[in-house]
Structure 1
């Protein structure tokens, strides 16, 4: 037989009465009349089929069984209060959770994040670097930075920029191979490849680069290594292991500091843009709106820097 719980209001009145010791005190705590408390206590007794209160002179007290019953109910209301405190603090706390592809997080977002944190010193930011897309409802993630069609699964998304790539290498590599600036000779040097995976079939590779440079039928390309994470490929290039097709938004800091050198003014556009995605309630947080506006603003130069940008 299925057990039916008493009405929540009756349980709430009973919990307050047992905790505070009187009908008047319970009524004051719950913001209702004494008559309403008495009515809910009678309703609870009818529901459980047992006497819960007995008269002790002019006062009503709990029976021994009711005291045990009250103790168990109090535990339940205590857990409800903890749950309410948690959800309120979660919604009111200035905290952002941003997930994205590992290289985008480490080479694009992370070098720029200090600027946002300077403007929002009380905001805690949780950065998650993963290829796995977030749950489309975005209950645990504030934002997701992603690429191409993956953005379509989310409630809201906005194009940030379409990247472009070009060959880069370390100063040490260029010292060893000064001919690397000549596309006709670069093809014979150690090259670092990036494997985008089966889901991405139109992203630029070395063969596309050399074809764009006028080589109608590029010969077999000598690749020193192939990486499934472009960030690792960039690290290999910095270490002098070869030249790599680096994306502009990822190599910005390495070019600025001299860890990498751009080998050509020409570039190849990525076939799809990068997006920022968010859920239905994300922008209810003022700090989330600030983050979105900030990210759109700082990516404006990236949108204008690519001549093929829409």
Structure 2
């Protein structure tokens, strides 16, 4: 007869009730920030081919999307503006124009859904004719000169009613510049959700289709991080914390769970993962072919991000995940 000389871990897995009782990591609808693309024009609901279920909405159509978001209990959205190509220029002035598409989008959301928390993506790439995140001179993106325009963009977004400013440009010193600009304009209480750790990644392709923001020459490797680097992420996060960031973002998520854990272990600010477009698109494509269980894969990956240490997740899966969480509860 076998003696009981080993640990019986399976005792805590024997049925669903027991597994739920001892579950260590939980996913909540409050964890999600849902991205929405707002475009110019009227009666526009343009599907993004590489991102099934994701659309560009004109202001007169975005209400149907927001109604669904609110009905699912999602409390936060991040807005991206998609201007007409004719409105783009070398300096991305549409990014900080009082009546720019992102400013009008923010005002619309806050007017009709005041309870929604609006995060404003703060960058120039969607608004520049060259598709880079700053001013270009002789083929190079200028850092300090770009900061001035990013400050103007952040202040204009705060004036429009944004609850959180989320600068994604990866210019050195952008948190300091934007914090000082917001404070000088009287927006001392508007927090900065910094894209502190943003890698140069092949996972961004579908987003560039959705936002029409692909660079017209070269790439962004001179200002976004090399995906092979780990310690650099800690340096980037450390400088943003020192400069006054209120949240830290790691982007992308799935290939960088080790970085998420490193950042969580070293800093005590709320940590956000951006579950980016390419990660979303791969799941959707495989599910459409019947190769995977979409619900199972999505929930497993989102829980994995939380287990790695994030507090919040920017994800295109938010609506589906909110439904699944509601069904489970």
TM range (shorter): under 0.3
Give the TM-score of the pair, scaled to structure 2: 0.25
Higher Rg of the two aligned structures:
1
Q: With a CA cutoff of 8 Å and minimum separation of 6, indicate the structure with the bigger relative contact order.
A: 1
Q: Normalized against structure 1, the TM-score is what?
A: 0.26
